[in-house]
């Protein structure tokens, strides 16, 4: 117990120390002034390569790379991960969720520190087939989040399949690694072909992703053991999530990157708190898994029909409750507030100078996604148990 409290305090204290020291030393601006000119140079000089790749434009490639971008996007993982939990693969689901949150934080921090532009359009042709891609285009370029996330998540999935299933053998390993490498290569090439990233963005995403994957494969068992059986798990993770909302660099110009980080920060908290409370009921290693005699496809379809509407209702309720409580608490404490999205009546100067006001959208977004994630691993499995699904 004492040892756990010591390292938890050390982690939180280290983040606080980093937060104050980086702010005092103005590290973001110093790093940006060093890195940004270098990256911009390679973005600009790499434009002929992009134009050469795009000269092979055909409708099939537009569709292929647009679909690949959707398959490895944050909204896709957000929709896919609940199904993974409900299919009985609890360890894989929680590890991929936490890894996704970590990748999102690291990748978006680097984006906003460097604040390097995407390829200029025109002359580069940028294809944004979905609203999600249009939002992605508003972020800075380096590193390519799609490439980074694909390296980490496909790498961890391959590791899980090869170590936790009966699929074994040298040829299987070779095939799996080859397939993962091909998938990463297609995603990276697709980001260039669609005009969303320069070559340096994709290369940076590849190497940063490999670094994160190597680190995760070293520590994931310790993290998982802590989440399912540690001491002060929910309290520690709530404090960690709160600090990570502030331990984030200020970009040169506003982008959606911080919003994405806030959402996954909330998701990680909801998953961890829910799993920690209900692990022995719904998420242990012996729960029924999809395609077993205890969980047939009709049963899983029933879970989807019950679970998806439930988590959407919880998300809506969490958002509504947060929109009401956060302004009340802030006003009670005398904290000036503003809202750029969720509460139009606060989008003005009456609540205080905007430069000094707290944006309640951050808290609302954080709480609604935390509530959604908690319902995925706690409320919804409880309903499954009640209705025998």
Cα–Cα distance, 299 to 144 (Å, whole number): 38
CB contact burial 25-50 (16+ within 10 A = b; e otherwise)? eeebeeebeebbeebbebbeebeeeb
- 197 classed as catalytic: yes
144 close to 205: Cβ distance less than 8 angstroms: yes
63 close to 146: Cβ distance less than 8 angstroms: no
The pLDDT, as a whole number, for residue 352 is 45
Q: How many helices (H) and strands (E) does the chain have?
A: 15, 2
- 41 classed as catalytic: no
Least confident range from 3-17, 190-204, 236-250: namely 3-17
pLDDT band at 89 (very low <50, low <70, confident <90, very high): confident
Q: What is the DSSP string of 22-44?
A: HHHHTHHHHHHHHHHHHHHHHHH
Least confident range from 73-82, 151-160, 181-190: namely 73-82
pTM: 0.89
302 close to 380: Cβ distance less than 8 angstroms: no
Q: What is the pLDDT of residues 253-309, one digit of tens each?
A: 888 888 889 989 999 999 999 999 888 888 888 888 887 778 888 888 999 999 999
- R_g (Cα) of the chain, nearest Å: 22
Q: What is the pLDDT of residues 325-364, one digit of tens each?
A: 888 888 888 878 887 877 777 665 444 455 567 788 888 8
Which uninterrupted H or E stretch holds 358?
A: strand 358-359
Would the CA dihedral through 97, 103, 109, 111 be positive or negative? negative
What integer best gives the mean pLDDT of the chain? 86
The pLDDT, as a whole number, for residue 349 is 45
Cα–Cα distance, 136 to 145 (Å, whole number): 9
The whole-number average pLDDT for the span 100-110 is: 92
- Of the listed 41, 89, 146, 159, which one is catalytic? 146
Q: What is the pLDDT of residues 36-54, one digit of tens each?
A: 999 999 988 888 888 888 8
- Of the listed 197, 280, 283, 284, which one is catalytic? 197
The pLDDT, as a whole number, for residue 1 is 57
The pLDDT, as a whole number, for residue 382 is 92
């Amino acid at each position: 117990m004492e040892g756990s409290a010591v390292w938890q305090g050390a982690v939180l204290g280290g983040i606080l120390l980093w937060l104050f020291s980086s702010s005092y030393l103005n590290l973001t601006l110093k790093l940006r002034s060093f890195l940004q000119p270098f990256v911009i140079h390679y973005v600009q000089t790499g434009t002929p390569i992009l134009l050469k790749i795009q000269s092979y434009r055909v409708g099939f490639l537009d569709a292929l790379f647009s679909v690949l971008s959707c398959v490895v996007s944050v909204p896709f993982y957000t929709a896919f991960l609940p199904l993974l939990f409900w299919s009985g693969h609890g360890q894989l689901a929680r590890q991929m969720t936490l890894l996704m949150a970590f990748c999102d934080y690291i990748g978006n921090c680097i984006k906003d520190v460097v604040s390097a532009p995407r390829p200029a359009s025109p002359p580069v042709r940028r294809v944004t087939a979905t609203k999600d891609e249009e939002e992605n285009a508003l972020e800075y370029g380096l590193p390519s989040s799609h490439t980074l996330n694909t390296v980490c998540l496909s790498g961890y999935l391959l590791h899980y399949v090869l170590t936790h299933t009966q699929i074994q053998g040298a040829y299987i390993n070779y095939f799996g690694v080859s397939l993962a490498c091909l998938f990463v290569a297609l995603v990276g090439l697709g980001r260039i072909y669609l005009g969303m990233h320069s070559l340096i963005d994709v290369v940076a995403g590849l190497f940063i992703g490999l670094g994160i994957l190597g680190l995760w494969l070293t520590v994931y068992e310790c993290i998982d053991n802590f989440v399912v059986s540690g001491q002060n798990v929910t309290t520690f993770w709530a404090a960690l999530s709160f600090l990570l909302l502030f331990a984030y660099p200020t970009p040169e110009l506003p982008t959606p990157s911080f919003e994405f980080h806030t959402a996954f920060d909330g998701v990680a908290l909801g998953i961890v708190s829910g799993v920690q409370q209900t692990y022995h009921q719904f998420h242990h290693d012996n729960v029924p898994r999809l395609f077993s005699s205890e969980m047939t496809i009709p049963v899983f379809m029933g879970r989807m029909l019950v679970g998806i509407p439930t988590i959407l209702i919880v998300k809506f309720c969490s958002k509504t409750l947060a929109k009401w409580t956060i302004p009340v608490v802030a006003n009670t404490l005398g904290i000036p507030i503003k809202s750029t999205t969720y509460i139009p009546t606060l989008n003005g100067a009456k609540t205080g100078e905007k430069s000094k006001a707290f944006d309640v959208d951050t808290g609302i977004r954080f709480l609604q996604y935390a509530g959604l994630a908690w319902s995925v691993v706690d409320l919804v499995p409880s309903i499954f148990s009640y209705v025998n699904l």
